[in-house]
Chain A
Amino acid sequence: MDDLFVKPGNQERGWNDPPQFSYGLQVAGSTRSPLTKRGPPPPAAGLQAPPPCGDPSPDQQATSPHLHGITPPPHKMTTPTHRITPPPSGVTPPLSQATSSPCGSRLPPPPKGPDSKAPCGPRAEPDPQPEPDLQAVSSVLAEALEACRQNVSRQVCEDIAKRLRLLEDSWTSGRLSSTVKRRMNALTLEMKSSHWSAADDIHRSLMVDHVTEVSQWMVGIKRLIAETRNLSPELLAFSPADPVQPEPVGN
């Protein structure tokens, strides 16, 4: 799901900048109950020395640093209070594969990627899906624009057309990330099926998550969706690019 991701904050510009959540994650909101419990209250009215907190483990002393190395954490296979023998002195425990990127140990699924100056998408994995075809995307948009020409002013249509050209330019010159391309494809599929709210939602998520890449032309798409959804269904006839695409249903 490439619309649900977390990026690190911008530590260069913001002190202790929190991580950045994608639009999808923010809209989903919180499903767990909030942390609103306090610690055990001190004895009523007495408030003498605070009660012991947590469970002071009897082998607390085992957690103090070992003289020649450190005692490793409790092993998964054993009960928590059982310690495995620390490694022999002088030999450092084998370190595993490369420690994660600076943001890796601090955040939920850390994306491996460049600094957050450029918007980084989720972890760069070998892309299982083929990249969407620009032709498929722009044909849907062009058809929608044509349908609008009857009812919408010339000025506005020209404006939208200008932005569609910008989109195509950015796409062909490789300035768009594959996430953006995939989501534009999804957007046009929703438009073909007349799922206007879904298309609108995708446009919004792209504006929030990838504003640097899309801001120049996305507002044209936004306007196109807004205008086409007001058209009567017979004016809209998307030519099926692929026989298996569903027939456009009136909104």
Chain B
Amino acid sequence: MTTYQEFIQQNEDRDGVRFSWNLWPSSRLEATRLVVPVSCLFTPLKERPDLPPVQYEPVMCGRANCKAVLNPLCQVDFRAKIWACNFCFQRNPFPPSYAGISDVNQPAELMPQFSTIEYVVQRGPVAPLIFLYVVDTCLEEEDLQALRESLQMSLSLLPPNALVGLITFGRMVQVHELSCEGIAKSYVFRGTKELSSKQIQEMLGLMKPAVSGQQGRPAAPQDPSATCRFLQPVHRVDMNLTDLLGELQRDPWPVPQGKRPLRSTGVALSVAVGLLEGAFPNTGARVMLFTGGPPTQGPGMVVGDELKTPIRSWHDIQKDNARHLKKSSKYYDTLANRTAVNGHSIDIYACALDQTGLLEMKCLSNLTGGHIVMGDSFNTSLFKQTFQRVFSKDYSGEFRMAFGGTMEVKEMGVGGTSQWKVCSLNPSTTLAMFFEVVSQHNAPVPQGGRGAIQFVTQYQHSSTQRRIRVTTVARNWADAQSQIQHIESSFDQEASAVIMARLGVFRAESEEGPDVLRWLDRQLIRLCQKFGQFNKDDPTSFKLSESLSLYPQFMFHLRRSPFLQVFNNSPDESSYYRHHFVRQDLTQSLIMVQPMLYSYSFHGPPEPVLLDSSSILPDRILLMDTFFQLVIYHGETIAQWRKAGYQEMAEYENFKQLLQAPLDDAQEILQTRFPMPRYVDTEHGGSQARFLLSKVNPSQTHNNSNGWTQEPGAPILTDDVSLQVFMDHLKKLAVSSST
């Protein structure tokens, strides 16, 4: 008999779905009493090497407001060639091409192992993919050179028939014509003036002149021969564009002492979005913004050009001292919404030592599914390799990136569907969906005993094919009054932790920090009160069943994480961490909440250890993975041996191997992760050891460490609460009759 763990894992492997509860309470009231909402994490384009797409189109339910796709949960009458939709119960005839099906000759989409299946849509014009580079020229020469080279390199990595365009900006914004002639032409816009989409298209000559006498009719956009000038197939313009990129100069306007360069990012993006909107709405396109500093003029400016006015910090924001924040956030939000409506996405590659305005600009990527990459300089391996990985290919040599996605969710009994646009996707993009149980309290469990949900994701594959991925899942309903223990054992604590964390991050973006922590704590206490086994007012009697036992620990680490704690991070850094947190799949998200810690020593093979100060021992090497950083920490003794050079001596070959082991494991992660993590090599007493010390549970601090006991581990100098203290408080509150 499969345990729930196995059931959960199999479902994730096959369908890319992880539900918080795998048995659903049959009434709305009971659902709210469960504290953690009925919800799931769904990875629409989960990589499935064993699932080749089928070369025909999906069969859909005939009812106009249903249109569910044929799936393994449908009842089928093979003789009459009729199938019954499991969502609306409509009986549908099979199309003529299915005349040959039978009990022993079933189409793939009816088989249980194809609960997730992908269709290739044959009809319709083939639309090319578009990559529009928007490049900041207010960079130091070394950075600009590195960026030039990365962009030239990327021309070799683009999908072969893609269209490519170039906009550069500094004080002015230049849209470059990519004709094949010898002369380089560009259209220049002032960086201070906000322009409407129509004005941009007119100025770029993209509009056909309106025919006289037809007032009220908008001028016809999309003059294809005109747009060709700015967005050309890469295989035709690669040589010219390589030269053009090679000749890119720094912004010529001199920057006086004590001033920042004038950077018109807002207008540059507006021109880019307007160009694509007019020329290629509703086809896969990526605007890729490369910037080396904050926008300092025009709409969307984040800080003025006086260096003595620093860019806003969290402190400034809390004291309402951030002059430009509201206005520029609104500006970028409007731009982001327009981009999303057009089915396009915006990436931000921000490389600078100071902030670049990610707090204000993050919606551009968050609303469109684009990437945010944050680095110190374009001349770093972190940027270069992360950028290369945007164009990475999967096991069958196809690009991982996907475009123009719309995702529909269909639930039984409701009849309606909900649709979202996800303009840019990749195999790890994961969405969290929240469901509301609508049945009234005490209503009988719906017929069939099972609820079903279908996810239909339509998207443009990197080969420009349109594809449809359909995932249909079902779970049993249960009466919460009589089956609460079964519901409890169906709890997926990992998925729930990530889902609650995403809810917390969502709240943190609009509420005050302490309020979010209070909310999170309240939910945790309520959950423990509901499902804990205890005697009233007796904290020592408190117990949690296995399906919930790790959940409090996740919450403990979440409270300390940079997703909810902004202390010690700039607003840009917090935005960056949150951006990645709310789009990664479950495994990676959990790593971010509670980093992995592996121990290497002479005592045995490498093993995972508790993220606790007691794991820090002198004769061990620790490898910590927080997703954003990989930290290799050498214990005190190991560090001394290394310093003394024992690894170079022939008879200490085993020590050399010990030093190498974590490096090899780190390399595995470094080679594949997007974005590329920072790499920290440190040791006992090293200043960079703080990355490890701040993450581990400080079970031993200067407050409680006891000189006499032989307890292992290094005390951490902190006033933070330890997991033990946290749990003690939690137990007290959960069992108390007055909470």
Contact = CB atoms under 8 A, between A and B. Distances in A.
Interface of A: 6-7, 9-10, 13-21, 23, 25-30, 32, 34-42, 44-57, 60, 63-65, 70-77, 80, 92-97, 99, 105-108, 116, 155-156, 159-160, 163, 203-204, 207-208, 211-212, 215-216, 218-220, 222-223, 226
What are the nearest 5 A-B pairs in CB distance? A14-B380, A96-B648, A45-B543, A45-B544, A18-B679
A18 B152 contact: no
Given A34-B669, A56-B712, A64 B618 contact: yes
B604 A55 contact: yes
Nearest to B629: A16
B597 interface: yes
B646 A73 contact: yes
B385 A21 contact: yes
A18 B678 contact: yes
Given A35-B598, A45-B542, A99-B648, A219 B152 contact: yes
- For B142, B598, B607, the residue with the greatest tally of chain A CB atoms inside 10 Å of its CB is B607
B610 A50 contact: yes
B679 A53 contact: no
A100 to B, nearest CB: 8
A97 B550 CA distance: 49
Nearest to B611: A39
Interface stretch (B334-342, B417-425, B635-643): B635-643
Given A34-B668, A45-B544, A223-B238, A16 B678 contact: yes
Contacts of B609: 39-40, 53-54
Contacts of B385: 18, 20-21, 26
Interface string B632-672: 10001100111011111101111100111001110111111
B707 to A, nearest CB: 15
B602 interface: yes
A26 B674 CA distance: 12
B152 A17 contact: no
Given A44-B545, A207-B157, 15 more contacts: A18-B678, A19-B381, A25-B671, A42-B610, A45-B533, A56-B712, A63-B619, A64-B637, A72-B646, A73-B655, A93-B644, A159-B239, A163-B239, A208-B156, A208-B157
A45 B545 contact: yes
Interface stretch (B38-46, B371-379, B429-437): B371-379
A70 B667 contact: no
B277 interface: no
Given A72-B641, A74-B654, A76-B654, A13 B377 contact: yes
13 contacts: A9-B382, A14-B380, A14-B381, A20-B385, A26-B385, A27-B393, A49-B724, A77-B651, A105-B681, A160-B239, A211-B149, A215-B242, A219-B155
B384 A20 contact: yes
Given A9-B382, A20-B381, A76-B653, A47 B552 contact: yes
B290 to A, nearest CB: 16
Contacts of B599: 53-54
B450 to A, nearest CB: 30
A38 B596 contact: yes
A21 B543 contact: no
A211 B615 contact: no
Contacts of B380: 9-10, 13-14, 17
A42 B556 CA distance: 13
B549 A41 contact: yes
Contacts of A63: 618-619, 637
B239 A44 contact: no
B389 interface: yes
A29 B676 CA distance: 14
Nearest to B682: A16
B738 interface: no
A38 B594 contact: yes
B150 to A, nearest CB: 7
A128 to B, nearest CB: 26
B553 interface: yes
B179 to A, nearest CB: 11
For chain A, what secondary structure do more than half of its interface residues adopt (helix, strand, loop), or is it mixed?
loop
Nearest to A61: B710
A9 B641 contact: no
B697 interface: yes
Interface in B371-423: 375-377, 379-385, 388-389, 392-393
A148 to B, nearest CB: 14
Contacts of B155: 219
A203 B239 contact: no
B546 interface: yes
A10 B663 CA distance: 18
B652 A18 contact: no
A49 B620 CA distance: 21
A220 B240 CA distance: 10
A218 B156 contact: yes
Given A44-B549, A47-B724, A222 B238 contact: yes
Contacts of B382: 9, 14, 17-18
Nearest to B550: A41
Contacts of A211: 149-150, 152-153
Nearest to A105: B642
Contacts of B301: none
Given A26-B385, A54-B615, A215-B246, A76 B238 contact: no
B158 to A, nearest CB: 11
A15 B351 CA distance: 12
B41 to A, nearest CB: 16
A19 B681 CA distance: 12
A212 B246 CA distance: 11
Contacts of B383: 14
Contacts of B611: 39
Interface string B260-297: 00000000000000000000000000000000000000
A212 B648 contact: no
B488 interface: no
Contacts of A55: 603-604
Nearest to B394: A29
A223 B243 CA distance: 14
B672 A219 contact: no
A27 B238 CA distance: 23
B677 interface: yes
B648 A49 contact: no
Given A17-B380, A93-B644, A108-B663, A54 B670 contact: no
A52 B712 contact: yes
B608 interface: yes
A219 B677 CA distance: 31
A98 to B, nearest CB: 9
A14 B645 CA distance: 28
B650 to A, nearest CB: 8
A6 to B, nearest CB: 7
Given A70-B641, A96-B648, A39 B153 contact: no
A21 B671 contact: yes
B723 interface: yes
Nearest to B610: A39
Contacts of A70: 637, 640-641, 644
Contacts of A219: 152, 155-156, 238-239, 242
B555 interface: no
Given A34-B669, A57-B619, A220-B239, A75 B652 contact: yes
B153 A18 contact: no
A215 B153 contact: yes
B617 interface: yes
A94 B652 CA distance: 13
